[in-house]
Amino acid sequence: MKNIILCGFMGCGKSTIGRIVSKKTGMEFIDMDRYIELKTGLSVKEIFERFGEDEFRRLEREACRELSDRDNLIIAAGGGTLTFDENIEVLSKTGRIVFIDVCLNQLCDRLKNDKKRPLLQVENRNERIRELLEVRRPIYKRASTIEVDGNFNSSVVAGYVIGILSPR
The residues binding ligand S3P (CB under 6 A) are 10, 14, 33, 44, 78-80, 117-119
Q: In the complex, what is the shortest distance from the CB of residue 168 to ligand S3P, in angstroms, rounded to a whole number? A: 30
Residue 157's CB is within 10 A of a number of other CB atoms, namely 26
Q: In the complex, what is the shortest distance from the CB of residue 167 to ligand S3P, in angstroms, rounded to a whole number? A: 30
CA 11 – CA 20 distance, rounded (Å) = 16
Nearest residue (CB) to ligand S3P, 1 versus 135: 135
Nearest residue (CB) to ligand S3P, 78 versus 95: 78
For residue 111, the 8-state DSSP code is T
Q: In the complex, what is the shortest distance from the CB of residue 57 to ligand S3P, in angstroms, rounded to a whole number? A: 9
Reported residue count of the chain is: 168
Nearest residue (CB) to ligand S3P, 14 versus 102: 14
Nearest residue (CB) to ligand S3P, 19 versus 117: 117
For the four alpha carbons of 30, 33, 36 and 42, in that order, the dihedral sign comes to: negative
Q: In the complex, what is the shortest distance from the CB of residue 109 to ligand S3P, in angstroms, rounded to a whole number? A: 15
CA distances to 16, 62, 141 from 91, rounded to whole Å, are 20, 11, 15
**SS3 of 57-76:** HHHHHHHHHHHCCCCCEEEE
